[in-house]
Structure 1
């Protein structure tokens, strides 16, 4: 059967507030054949909005019922989910697709709330009924959007797994490399991460309090793994090696009967075992030093608390004596 011929259609000229989506985000058309990609680039349009730094209310720009999604064309957003006094944060950057309506939030039995912030001036392409109609002839584009949504869900799963690690130093190191995979820039002195990541925000990413994050980053800096210069984070070393070491250590801690069959490959060479042993010893020494510092800090706080309690008891006794003397007078 011959393919149905489509009549030639004049290219759409974007009006004010519209953009040709495949020109703004060419990867959306990566799965299209060249001739179909050219036509899709001329035909598929989306409405755009620009949002400035600060707290952002998606309902303000996506109030229409037909808006069901958005793509970040440029900039950086922060999505916070708050439960009691704890926040979990997600960074959303160029190419990410998300649903600004946050379906399920109102129906959740867990008392959570969300907040959006604009960390860098951001341009969004809104996905609505008009976009869906213009893209209907190119399902590959819609498939790419679904793929990006799935990729975002996977990155959040990785972030959840990182938050389960017992050591904050390891959480931070892996979280920074996880972000560097998307936002990092490789240079001669390491991988730079030009993101406005404060200690507080990093704590919300890895599930730790700011003072703990500060102490852990100090240890990583002393180990030559992480540094911050002029507000830019720089990572040293190689992420695959660190992750490979993590997997090796995790397998070594299992009992032999619990090890998965895939892990029972060729044994480590004597050189590899010695290098691994040396790295483990270095990590243990570093963690021991952290424990000693924290123990000393706790001891100092306990002594100060005892002093405060003693002063408080003395003050209460003096007040009681003064009241008793005034009562007799």
Structure 2
């Protein structure tokens, strides 16, 4: 983990200033300066002190894996710009069914450290904390969406819903389609996200490519083609051979 030069928060995370008037924004631009850290891809453990608010991701992608050992279950959540991390608050080991968490950087990540100075600034400009709370609520809504998407019976539909929802957050429109850059997103990770087996996910993605709904390469670049609703109808009417959808 590398310490970066401190920077104005509203410069590196402008969304935290949404709703501020020009006078407030101007004052905070000069006074609300935050520490930043950069982390390279690979396994990650937070080794710093707990912060009053948390780590605000301003660039990059990180996968949070949750494993419930007694049940043999392992899920994954992908986080990125706008998400708030508090890795020091995890209480899984003390739960009735203990769980563990691991973190893996999928791309270089930069975070702004929201500490006591941010809390002090929020007392003068409450909109700052409101925006952070909105981001936290949005993360819970995203998680609820993925829980709902996992109930879709056809595996290719679950894959599509997952990729399109990720694209809503981090995709970009191009002449090819909606491009989603997710380095290190493996078929195994997708399987953990949608409650399926890895071989079935590989077969499902191959079928989506054959239907002209998805293109991908080995560099983590995904291109989503067409309209999501039409794509879901197409996989319903053109099913692949029966797939085993139970997680490994």
| Structure 2, unaligned runs of 5 or more | none
SS, match of residue 135 in structure 1? helix
Tell me the CA shift for residue 242 of structure 1.
Answer: 4.7
How many angstroms apart in 1 are the aligned matches of 2:106 and 2:225? Answer: 25
C-alpha displacement of 1:67: 3.8
Gaps of 5+ in 1: 1-14, 246-278, 296-329
1:222 and 2:210 matched = yes
Contact map agreement 1:72 1:125 (CA 8 A) in 2 = yes
3-state SS of 1:136 partner:
helix
1:241-291, Cα deviation, whole Å (9 max, x unpaired): 457x5xxxxxxxxxxxxxxxxxxxxxxxxxxxxxxxxx5xx734x33x513
Residue 135 of structure 2 corresponds to: 148
Q: 1:135 to 1:99 in 2, by over 3 A?
A: same
Superposition TM-score, scaled by structure 2 size: 0.88
For the pair shown, the structure with the greater C-alpha radius of gyration is 1
Q: State whether residues 4 and 38 of structure 2, in contact with CA within 8 Å, keep that contact through their aligned partners in structure 1.
A: no
- Give the whole-Å Cα distance in 2 for the aligned partners of 1:283 and 1:34: 51
Task: Select 1:72's aligned residue among 48, 57, 79.
Answer: 57
1:120 partner SS: coil
Q: 2:124 aligns with which of 137, 142, 160?
A: 137
TM-aligned CA deviation for residue 220 of structure 1: 1.0
Matches of residues 1-329 of structure 1 in structure 2 within 5 Å?
Answer: 17-58=5-46, 60-61=47-48, 63-64=49-50, 66-84=51-69, 85-196=72-183, 197-231=185-219, 232-242=221-231, 283-284=236-237, 286-287=238-239, 290-291=241-242
Count of aligned pairs: 238
Match of 1:157, SS state, is: helix
Alpha carbons of structure 1 residues 228 and 145: separation in structure 2 relative to 1, 3 Å: same
CA displacement at 1:16 relative to structure 2? 6.9
SS at 2:136 equivalent: helix
Structure 1 stretches of at least 4 aligned residues deviating more than 3 Å after TM superposition = 240-243
Report how far residue 128 of structure 1 moved.
1.7
* Mean CA deviation greater in 165-174 or 131-140: 131-140
Counterparts of 1:132 and 1:106, CA distance in 2:
30
Contact residue 154 and residue 236 of structure 2 kept, 8 A: no
Measured in 2, the distance between the counterparts of 1:240 and 1:136 equals 44
Secondary structure at the residue paired with 2:107?
A: strand
Higher relative contact order (CA 8 A, sep 6+): 2
Q: Distance in 1 between matches of 2:20 and 2:206?
A: 48
Decide whether the 8 Å contact of 1:22 with 1:28 is kept in 2.
yes
Corresponding residue for 1:252? none
TM-score (norm 1): 0.67
Q: Distance in 2 between matches of 1:16 and 1:154?
A: 32
The answer to whether the Cα contact below 8 Å between 1:74 and 1:94 also exists between their aligned partners in 2 is: yes
